[in-house]
Chain A
Amino acid sequence: DAGVIQSPRHEVTEMGQEVTLRCKPISGHDYLFWYRQTMMRGLELLIYFNNNVPIDDSGMPEDRFSAKMPNASFSTLKIQPSEPRDSAVYFCASSPLVNEKLFFGSGTQLSVL
């Protein structure tokens, strides 16, 4: 298996623009997570899905952030409108079972100018 695949690897955009990050989890994994990593705050859980259903979105910072999982092999994280403080590395991770280890993608480095 190729592991968790994220795209794009890097995204540079201007304040106010819409940003869409994409993730393909490992096949057969029922759980999908979106994390954000910054130097100041470390890794923060934004939202996670179980069998394509959002279970906990309490980490989503504002209404500007939204996430979808239309099927078991694809998820998106959208920021609209983007702001400079959204600049961070966004990771997608998947897991086969509850309490099982997370498999992380290589992340998307987002820079909002």
Chain B
Amino acid sequence: QKEVEQDPGPLSVPEGAIVSLNCTYSNSAFQYFMWYRQYSRKGPELLMYTYSSGNKEDGRFTAQVDKSSKYISLFIRDSQPSDSATYLCAITGGGNKLTFGTGTQLKVEL
């Protein structure tokens, strides 16, 4: 079993839809949770960072962590074509050694 599991997609939604992206993890020692966004032919860039259970909101983006279920989510409200990218979850128990999910490819259609 991989330490971090993520549905690869692709996920296609119409503009304006609410998008839900998810990851599950197996190691209960993980305590820092991140979402990175990666555009085609670019490096990943940090989108959201949280270290506790619960929700964190930033504009149209909400990150949710459920440590009891070892489940993290990223919600995108009012999705835009510019949100089309691959979204990677990244998790660590501390230090800089991140474990990444394989990424979910999202396409937002006009």
Given known A31-B96, A48-B96, contact A99–B32 (CB-CB < 8 A): yes
**Could you list some 9 contacts between A and B, CB below 8 A?**
A42-B88, A45-B97, A98-B95, A98-B96, A101-B46, A102-B44, A102-B96, A103-B45, A104-B43
Q: Main secondary structure on chain A at its contact with chain B?
A: strand
Are B102 and A41 in contact, with the CB atoms below 8 A?
yes
Q: How far is the CB of B29 from chain A (nearest CB, A)?
A: 14
B41 is an interface residue with CB less than 8 A from chain A:
yes
Q: How far is the CA of A100 from the CA of B51 in the complex (A)?
A: 12
What's the tally of chain A residues with a CB closer than 8 Å to chain B?
23
Q: How far is the CA of A104 from the CA of B42 in the complex (A)?
A: 9
Given known A4-B43, A105-B43, contact A99–B95 (CB-CB < 8 A): yes
Are A42 and B100 in contact, with the CB atoms below 8 A?
yes
